[in-house]
Amino acid sequence: MGNPLEYILLNYGSVEEAQLDGAYVTHNGHCGACSTLQDLSVYMQYTDLTAPVRKCGLEGILSKQLAMDCLLALGFSNPCAEIWYDNTVNTREDCFGVCMEEIFEYYNNQGDCSLNDCLECDEVRSGPVFKGYSGRTRRNSGLFSAIWRPPATIYNVTHNYY
């Protein structure tokens, strides 16, 4: 096996600036807790993180350690697992009722593809803080997921680091 890729995370003012510096842009926006290539690999491996992270969040009702062990087992780096844990706690506090009502529902409403009420609550109540601290999200990394999003909201980036 080869040596692991060594890299540093840097914020640039623009894609052009990064490219002129010889950097690889792996997501749009600032770097944060989930900006590592390790976390990108988790996002690429799991097209559906909602179900496994929900399971980790439910384990968090019993203890933070159980939730963190669950998130780390998915492959997240420790800092990224921490923000995912915080996201599950906040969503549980702000959206528990509506999410329990829709726990077995589709992520998107049938017909218009809007988010179901649970995911909409998570998006509004937890999303801004998560995005602010995580840096990387699936959408700003150019990755589609089990939750349908308008294609125009998915950043255009090609992941070819070989």
If we measure between CA atoms, which residue out of 24, 74, 80 comes closest to residue 54? 74
Interval 88-105 mean pLDDT: 93
Interval 115-132 mean pLDDT: 95
**pLDDT-based confidence at residue 162 (cuts at 50, 70, 90):** low
> DSSP character for 5?
P
pLDDT in tens, 43-89: 999 999 999 999 999 999 999 999 999 999 999 999 999 999 999 99
pLDDT in tens, 106-119: 888 767 888 999 99
If we measure between CA atoms, which residue out of 8, 40, 6 comes closest to residue 21? 8
Half-sphere exposure of 51 (CA within 13 A, CB side): 10
pLDDT reported for residue 1: 47
What's the whole-number average pLDDT of the chain? 93
> Virtual CA dihedral for 10, 13, 14, 15, nearest 10 degrees?
-10
Sign for the pseudo-dihedral over CA of 137, 141, 142, 143: negative
Q: Are 41 and 139 in contact (CB under 8 A)?
A: no
Residue 127 has pLDDT above 60, yes or no: yes
Residue 161 has pLDDT above 80, yes or no: no
Interval 100-129 mean pLDDT: 89
Rg from Cα positions in the chain: 16
Residue 6 has pLDDT above 90, yes or no: no
pLDDT reported for residue 112: 85
Count Cβ atoms below 10 Å from residue 111 Cβ, excluding itself: 6
**Residue type at 129 in one-letter notation:** V
pLDDT in tens, 27-48: 999 999 999 999 999 999 999 9
Count Cβ atoms below 10 Å from residue 22 Cβ, excluding itself: 6
Residue 133 has pLDDT above 60, yes or no: yes
